[in-house]
Structure 1
Amino acid sequence: MKAGNLFHVGIVTHDPDATRAGLTARFGYEWGPQIGGPVTVTLPDGIVVDVEMSCAYSITTPRLEVVRSIPGTFWEPVAGAGIHHLGYWSDDIAADAADLVAAGYETEATRGGPDGPSFAFLRSDAGFRVELVGRASQAGLERCWAPAASEVSA
């Protein structure tokens, strides 16, 4: 993993609309579409659960992801901090996650895919989280922050 693979900073909030509006008013952020739906994840104890994800990425950089909180999961606002996670592209989620675990990180959730995990969340002993996102998802996610067709000049 390299610093250059960082592609977003995740913020989890109970009120994503107000959070995005505040970031727009104060810092000029613009937003892509809200995306989401049911996601099946595996927790560290092996339990598989379905969660209803909802988020939006900023069009503006540095890229932010505002995620609607999911009560009873680690997708809840972090007390005393606004940052929930740092999102990194990964060419090998299993290997990168194993390196982080060897460095003392704890796995909080993974999502399987046809060729191995499609994402993983790990928490450091300092309390911050890293989200590893498979490079195969990059093209699809980049559509979430591409300028609208009306904003592209001819």
Structure 2
Amino acid sequence: MRAGDLYHVGIVTDDLDGVRDEMSELLGYEWTQEVTARTAVCLLGVDTALDLRLVYSRTTPRVELVASLPGNPVWTPAGGSGVHHLGYWSDDLAADRAELEERGFVAEALGQEPGGPAMWGYFAREGAPRIELVSRAMQEYMEQSWRA
């Protein structure tokens, strides 16, 4: 993991549409099409599926807005600034995960296909920013969607 691998700041919000509109009006952000998807997730060690709703900015620095999931311990709005996570590309998600866990971070959520390796994950530790690692194997696909 390197500072140069940071590619977005994630904000979880109870009002995705309102925050998107305000960031457009106030800061000039332009957005990709909204993504709504049922996603396989290992959530705090339990396999489940969640209905995620999110949108990325086309404008850089890139921002990801994610709709909160009431009652979910991971997808809840952060206090203060609203920043939920810092998103980094990972060339080796398993190795980067191991390094974070050695430093006391806990895997809160891992996005994976059933039986497959994790393609992204949220890692948290008290007193530190939540980190999202996203497999670089997803980079080309995601960048294409931002350009579309």
TM-score by length of 1: 0.89
* Distance of 1:130 and 1:86 partners within structure 2: 5
User: Residues 88-139 of structure 1: CA distance to partner in whole angstroms, max 9, x if unpaired?
Assistant: 0001111101101111111101122476210110012214211100111111
| Corresponding residue for residue 67 of structure 1 | 66
| Corresponding residue for residue 129 of structure 1 | 130
**Stretches of 4+ moved more than 3 A in 1?**
none
Question: Residue 109 of structure 1: SS of its match in structure 2?
Answer: strand
Aligned residues: 146
Question: Residue 84 of structure 1: SS of its match in structure 2?
Answer: strand
Amino acid at match of 1:15: D
Question: Residue 80 of structure 1: SS of its match in structure 2?
Answer: coil
* Distance of 1:88 and 1:115 partners within structure 2: 20
Question: Residue 59 of structure 1: SS of its match in structure 2?
Answer: coil
Question: Residue 83 of structure 2: SS of its match in structure 1?
Answer: coil
Give structure 2 stretches of 5+ with no counterpart: none
| Corresponding residue for residue 48 of structure 2 | 49
* Distance of 1:132 and 1:58 partners within structure 2: 18
Contact residue 14 and residue 69 of structure 1 kept, 8 A:
yes
Give structure 1 stretches of 5+ with no counterpart: 149-154
* Distance of 2:29 and 2:67 partners within structure 1: 18
| Corresponding residue for residue 83 of structure 2 | 83
Larger C-alpha radius of gyration, 1 or 2?
A: 1
Amino acid at match of 2:125: S
| Corresponding residue for residue 29 of structure 1 | 29
Indicate the larger mover: 110-119 or 8-17: 110-119
TM-score by length of 2: 0.92
* Distance of 2:22 and 2:15 partners within structure 1: 11
Amino acid at match of 2:71: G
